[in-house]
Structure 1
Amino acid sequence: MPDVRLSSTRGKQILLTTVLGSSMALLDSTVVNVALPRIGRDLNADLAALQWTVNAYMLTLAGLILLGGSLGDRYGRRKIFLLGVVWFAAASLLCGLAQDTTVLIGARALQGVGGALLTPGSLALIQASFHPDDRARAVGLWSGFGGIGAAVGPFVGGWLVAGPGWRWVFLLNVPLALVCVPVALRHVPESADGGGHGRFDVLGAALGALALALVTYALIEGRTASPAVVVAAAAGVAAGAAFVWVEKHRPDPMMPLDVFASRQFTAVNLVTLCVYAAFGGFFFLTALQLQVVAGYSPLRAGTALLPTTLLMLLFSARSGALADRIGPRVPLTVGPLLCAAAMLLMLRVGKDAHYLTDVLPALLVMGAGMVTLVAPLTATVLASVDTSRAGLASGVNNAAARAAGLIAVAALPLLAGMGPDAYRSADAFDAAFRRAMPICAAALVVGSVLAFAAVSRPAVGCRRPECRTHGSTTAPPLEPHRNRTGGRTGRDG
Structure 2
Amino acid sequence: MMAVIDGTIANVALPTIASDLNATAARSIWVVNAYQIAIVISLLPLSFLGEMVGYRRIYKWGLGLFTCTSLLCALSPSLELLTLARVVQGFGGAALMSVNVALIRLIYPQRQLGRGMALNAFIVAVSSAAGPTIAAGILAVASWQWLFLINMPLGIVALLLALRFLPGNQYASNARRFDVRSAVMNALTFGLLITALSGFAQGDSWELVAAELVAFLVVGFFFVRRQLQLAVPMLPLDLLRIPIFSLSVATSVCSFCAQMLALVSLPFFLQGVLGRSEVETGLLLTPWPVATMLLSPLAGVLIGRVHAGLLGSLGMVMMAAGLLALAMLPAMPGDMDIVWRMALCGAGFGLFQSPNNHTMISAAPPQRSGGASGMLGTARLLGQSSGAALVALMFTRFGDGGTHASLLLAAALAIVAAVVSGLRVQRRPVSQP
Q: TM-score range by the shorter chain?
A: 0.7 to 0.9
* Cα separation, 2, equivalents of 1:182 and 1:309: 28
The equivalent position to 1:331 in structure 2, one of 311, 323, 345, is 311
* Cα separation, 2, equivalents of 1:402 and 1:299: 26
Structure 1 unmatched ranges of 5 or more: 1-22, 420-427, 463-490
* Cα separation, 2, equivalents of 1:273 and 1:440: 12
The equivalent position to 1:439 in structure 2, one of 361, 385, 409, is 409
**Alignment match, 2:376:** 397
**Alignment match, 2:387:** 408
1:250 aligns with 2:218: no
The equivalent position to 1:227 in structure 2, one of 207, 210, 213, is 207
In the alignment, residue 53 of structure 2 is paired with which amino acid?
Y
Secondary structure of the structure 1 residue equivalent to 2:175? coil
- Give the C-alpha shift of residue 189 in structure 1: 6.5
**Alignment match, 2:242:** 262
- Give the C-alpha shift of residue 328 in structure 1: 2.8
* Cα separation, 2, equivalents of 1:262 and 1:130: 23
Matches within 5 A, 1:271-310: 271-310=251-290
In the alignment, residue 250 of structure 1 is paired with which amino acid?
L
- Give the C-alpha shift of residue 286 in structure 1: 2.0
Matches within 5 A, 1:70-149: 70-121=48-99
* Cα separation, 2, equivalents of 1:141 and 1:218: 35
Secondary structure of the structure 1 residue equivalent to 2:178? coil
**Alignment match, 1:345:** 325
**Alignment match, 2:168:** 191
The equivalent position to 1:456 in structure 2, one of 417, 425, 431, is 425
Secondary structure of the structure 1 residue equivalent to 2:142? coil
* Cα separation, 2, equivalents of 1:309 and 1:206: 36
In the alignment, residue 313 of structure 1 is paired with which amino acid?
M
**Alignment match, 1:170:** 148
Root-mean-square deviation over aligned CA pairs = 3.4
Secondary structure of the structure 2 residue equivalent to 1:195? coil
Secondary structure of the structure 1 residue equivalent to 2:12? helix
8 Å contact kept, 2:320–2:414? yes
- Give the C-alpha shift of residue 355 in structure 1: 1.5
Secondary structure of the structure 2 residue equivalent to 1:264? helix
Alignment CA distance shift 1:264-1:31 (3 Å) = same
Aligned length: 430
Give the structure-1-normalised TM-score.
Answer: 0.76
The equivalent position to 1:55 in structure 2, one of 33, 49, 54, is 33
Alignment CA distance shift 1:417-1:123 (3 Å) = closer
In the alignment, residue 306 of structure 2 is paired with which amino acid?
I
Identity of aligned residues (%): 28
Alignment CA distance shift 1:207-1:445 (3 Å) = same
Segment drifting more, 99-108 vs 187-196: 187-196
- Give the C-alpha shift of residue 438 in structure 1: 1.1
8 Å contact kept, 2:9–2:131? yes
Secondary structure of the structure 2 residue equivalent to 1:325? coil
Alignment CA distance shift 1:150-1:233 (3 Å) = closer
**Alignment match, 2:7:** 29
- Give the C-alpha shift of residue 181 in structure 1: 3.8
* Cα separation, 2, equivalents of 1:136 and 1:438: 33
8 Å contact kept, 2:52–2:176? no
8 Å contact kept, 2:99–2:370? no
* Cα separation, 2, equivalents of 1:273 and 1:138: 22
- Give the C-alpha shift of residue 360 in structure 1: 0.7
8 Å contact kept, 1:158–1:298? yes
* Cα separation, 2, equivalents of 1:93 and 1:70: 28
- Give the C-alpha shift of residue 38 in structure 1: 2.0
In the alignment, residue 456 of structure 1 is paired with which amino acid?
V
- Give the C-alpha shift of residue 152 in structure 1: 5.7
- Give the C-alpha shift of residue 441 in structure 1: 1.5
In the alignment, residue 244 of structure 1 is paired with which amino acid?
V
8 Å contact kept, 1:415–1:436? yes
8 Å contact kept, 1:84–1:118? yes
Segment drifting more, 92-101 vs 119-128: 119-128
The equivalent position to 2:334 in structure 1, one of 354, 363, 373, is 354
Alignment CA distance shift 1:73-1:365 (3 Å) = same
- Give the C-alpha shift of residue 113 in structure 1: 0.2
Structure 2 unmatched ranges of 5 or more: none
* Cα separation, 1, equivalents of 2:331 and 2:63: 41
In the alignment, residue 153 of structure 2 is paired with which amino acid?
P
- Deviation per CA, 1:101-138, whole angstroms, max 9, x where unpaired? 32222222211100112334556567667999999988
1:156 aligns with 2:126: no
In the alignment, residue 206 of structure 1 is paired with which amino acid?
V
8 Å contact kept, 1:56–1:108? yes
The equivalent position to 1:363 in structure 2, one of 342, 345, 349, is 342
Alignment CA distance shift 1:137-1:393 (3 Å) = closer
* Cα separation, 2, equivalents of 1:251 and 1:388: 13
8 Å contact kept, 1:413–1:436? no
In the alignment, residue 65 of structure 1 is paired with which amino acid?
L
* Cα separation, 2, equivalents of 1:335 and 1:189: 32
Segment drifting more, 223-232 vs 175-184: 175-184
- Deviation per CA, 1:18-45, whole angstroms, max 9, x where unpaired? xxxxx32132133222222322333344
* Cα separation, 1, equivalents of 2:125 and 2:26: 31
